[in-house]
Amino acid sequence: MTSQPRTAVHPLRKILMALAAATCAAVLNGCASSPTQESAGEYIDSSVVTAKVKVALLNAENLTSSQISVASFKGGVQLSGFVPTETDKSRAEVIARDIGGVRSVTNGIQVKGQ
């Protein structure tokens, strides 16, 4: 039985393989989320949640929502801004909580004159 001669991997090919592996790792890591950063998918999800909450607040009857800001991060929604009454502040929070995809609401809305 004759043995086949081993072919050595060319040094340049080793370098190219290592670069390809490092590039794949960097790309996959860049799409991952961390406690302080959203992945691309989570960013899109947060944008959709923010838009849904803003639309719901604008469409709510008897709610002065023009000075309410909405931000979201990984399912958590933060409300800020100013409203004329405590009732408006509470209603805004309830409306935000009722939106699909919202996991928590931080209500930082201030009541004018208080």
Residues of the chain with pLDDT under 70: 1-10, 24-36, 38
According to the model, what pLDDT value does residue 62 have?
87
Predicted TM-score of the model (pTM): 0.66
In order of their start, the domains of the chain are 40-111 (3.30.1340)
According to the model, what pLDDT value does residue 6 have?
60
Residue 80: which H helix or E strand, with range?
A: strand 76-83
According to the model, what pLDDT value does residue 12 have?
75
User: From CA 30, how far away is CA 22, in angstroms rounded?
Assistant: 12
User: From CA 34, how far away is CA 72, in angstroms rounded?
Assistant: 15
Dihedral-angle region of residue 62 (phi above 0 means left; psi in -120 to 50 means alpha; beta otherwise) = left
pLDDT in tens, 57-79: 999 998 887 899 999 988 899 99
